[in-house]
Amino acid sequence: MHRRFIVPSALAATLVLAIPASAATGTVGAPGIGDPYYPASGNGGYDVSHYDLRLKYQPATDLLEGTATILATTTQELTRFNLDFGLAVSEVRVNGKKAAFAKSGDQELEITPADRLTKGKDVSVVVRYAGKPSELKINGWTAWARTPDGGVAAQEPESAVWWYPSNDHPLDKATYDISVSVPDGTQAISNGVLVSQSSKLGWTRFNWRSDKPQATYLSTLAVGKFDITTDKTADGLPVLNAYSKDLGPNAGAARASIERTTEVAEWLTEVFGPYPFNALGGYVPNVTSGFALETQTRPFYSPRQFANGANVSVVVHEIAHQWYGNSVSVDGWKDIWINEGFARYSQWLWSEKEGEGTAQELADYVYAQHPADDPFWKVKPGDPGPDKQFDIAVYDRGALALQALRNEVGDETFFALLKGWPTEKAHSNATVGDFLRYAERVSGKPLATLFDTWLYQPKRPAVPAAASAGIAKNALSSRAAVEPERPASWKKIAATNTIHDHGDHGHGSDDHGRGGHGGDGHGGHGDR
């Protein structure tokens, strides 16, 4: 999914230049973490280790009141630093002392502690705040969705700005305790394990804990009235799924899909190695959007993902992200392929397992769907640019690259790569280049040309090159004009093409947006 205030490249460069040099080298923490796709995202000068959020939310009015305690370590001397946040702040304390604070731009909370902070110092920051998240607009939209009985925070690449102060970029992951008080009869769903629940004077408090590093955009909160199912995996992990009580005709299909989460996760452990977190599940709130998101341990699904019936393929995609994207996260948003290419390929592997079309057949079919003049091939999955970060090519061309890699190194090495990468890079960040070097080391083969062909060249790999990579071999035969047969799984896979398409933020009533999943020859949007 992607947020709709994507910054064009030229503007991004301007914003980077607008950050004072002293912010990076002096005693003022930089107002951005240094990601050229999103210059305002994150901040410099410190690393967060833990967020403790104590919240109260009133669904009837959308009023959110909160106290956030942030534990961090300084990475430079600081007289001032920023948090990313948009709601109104009433008080800030740093190491127990009141600190001066000011708002800057749409999302910068500038904090001046009473005492200068030395480099390498453990710091606690307490922020008290209140506001109505749905009324906070940044570049014309909000990541907070109101529902008939509550509200939901789920977006990519940023959503924390709307409900808690943070260092809002995947480079700074942390553990979480999220405690939420809501009116009796209403539930609060978040990440990780539900540690405790208690009621007092008409309010019920839910305490959630995520004990492994988590990127801010992977944190989520859903308040409403849910039907909840619980279970445990064979390994004893708690499983919690939640469904809004008013999903209408999509309710059955949603439940029939999400209730297979444990089965999908158990299969993926065979492909990717041990599950990396302390809980499992998913939730489907009554929202009008059409996307899904890999919020850590508990993916978010829009009801419209199930408008045409059950679709386990979307569950496969989001659970695969728990390894590829959540445990191993992007170093910068240009590295989105190490999230989405692998999650899409997991759908191809599920198809292969289910006997509905092999990954090779799906690769041949995708290649055949896009002639050389198709804009699909102009997108470079290895660095697509902020305006194409979630283009369908990042998914399908990204998966083609993995099939080409599989054909080059052989199944034994390829599946060793899939399992070894999230083990070696667990709970860290990585670039596309990191994966290339890892694959070369494990396979013992030079792979730079292959990666360049499939991830970086803005053109369709020529038929001979594709065939030499084991893709579209039939195109070299006399049957060149015959299109490959459509695999049986294709309809369900294509129905997830809008999986990360967040297009209803001030851009009309459709969900297509700049990422562009429309008109891509993929048989439409399944859930439209």
Q: Provide the 10 A C-beta neighbour count for residue 245.
A: 12
pLDDT tens across 328-361, in order? Answer: 999 999 999 999 999 999 999 999 999 999 999 9
* Cα–Cα distance list, 418 to 325, 400, 405, 497 (Å): 13, 15, 11, 23
Q: Residue 467: what pLDDT?
A: 86
Q: How far is CA 99 from CA 23, 85, 95, 125, in A?
A: 19, 16, 9, 9
Q: What is the pLDDT of residues 245-293, one digit of tens each?
A: 999 999 999 999 999 999 999 999 999 999 999 999 999 999 999 999 9
469 band by pLDDT with thresholds 50, 70 and 90: confident
* pLDDT tens per residue, range 128-142: 999 999 999 998 889
- Output the pLDDT for position 482: 72
Mean pLDDT score across all residues of the chain: 90
pLDDT the model gives residue 466: 85
- What digits encode the pLDDT tens for the residues 378-414? 999 999 999 999 999 999 999 999 999 999 999 999 9
pLDDT band of 32, cuts 50, 70, 90: very high
In the predicted structure, residue 93 carries a pLDDT above the cut 70? yes
Strand-pairing partners, residue 80, are 28
Q: What is the pLDDT of residues 234-250, one digit of tens each?
A: 989 999 999 999 999 99
- Of the candidates 95, 101, 104, which has an alpha carbon nearest to the alpha carbon of residue 125? 95
Min mean pLDDT across 217-231, 360-374, 471-485 is at 471-485
Q: Is the pLDDT of residue 120 over 60?
A: yes
Strand 81-84 to 108-112 pairing: antiparallel
Q: Is the pLDDT of residue 5 over 70?
A: no
Beta strand 300-301 with 292-293 is antiparallel
**Residue 139: its pLDDT value, please?**
83
173-188 average pLDDT score: 98
CA nearest to 142, candidates 281, 259, 31, 287: 287
- pLDDT band at residue 500, thresholds of 50, 70 and 90? low
Q: Within a 10 A sphere around the Cβ of 389, how many other Cβ atoms? A: 24
What CA–CA distances, in Å, run from 269 to 37, 341, 349, 425, 502?
32, 18, 13, 16, 29
pTM of the model: 0.91
Q: Which of 53-57, 193-197, 470-474 has the lowest mean pLDDT?
A: 470-474
Q: Report the alpha-carbon distance of residue 346 to residue 2 in Å, rounded.
A: 20
Answer with the residue of higher pLDDT: 123 or 470. 123
Question: 505: pLDDT confidence band, cut at 50, 70 and 90?
Answer: very low
- Reported as a single tens digit per residue, the pLDDT across 199-208 is 999 999 999 9
Cβ pair 361, 487 in contact under 8 A = yes
Whether the predicted pLDDT of 481 surpasses 70? no
Report the candidate in 300, 210, 226 with the shortest Cα–Cα distance to residue 258.
Answer: 300
Dihedral, CA of residue 442, residue 446, residue 448 and residue 454, to nearest 10? -80
